[in-house]
Structure 1
């Protein structure tokens, strides 16, 4: 199942707000987007961006068919990525890099696959 956003989609349509590429499997896209949003929210818990990221994560989780255990395991994976040491040319944290790396990681794909397999079982 893919989400297609046509030119007539309104900004209030969930399909338009989910920003899912039509070629991606919907459930994996929802999970990876949740991971990214939640990671940003956990990286900086005191900002307006964090509040927005928490709301975004809730939106993606609400559209997902994965069990709650996937999100508990996802939180642990987020913590591991945020704890990784990153260094760059400017002193400071690189939490956004950690969250982007998480989004594209094999670990995220394997975690999704583990819980997606449960969706196929009766």
Structure 2
């Protein structure tokens, strides 16, 4: 495969009556015979990148002081019908899916989830 030195368009090979291969640029008309061309070999390399995943430490929310730092919302507990719960979000599915909201009742500590 040859490229035109004038306009960088790929040249098309054509057989001449003298049985020579002539490369012709369809864009600018530049032409050369196979004897005149110098062969250039291009090597392509596929580069791959490894993305290191960071170690993520997950803190389990248990009863105690840590639950007091979470935000609260007005939502009814399905177990005891209390009207307030703390909530947090966590990516439980693939990255292109929405995050999952977890709720914990402030009265009975029942935990449930909402797939947003």
Q: TM-score, normalised by structure 2?
A: 0.18
- Structure showing greater Rg: 2
Higher RCO structure, 1 or 2 (CA under 8 Å, sep 6+): 1
Structure (1 or 2) with the greater helix fraction: 1
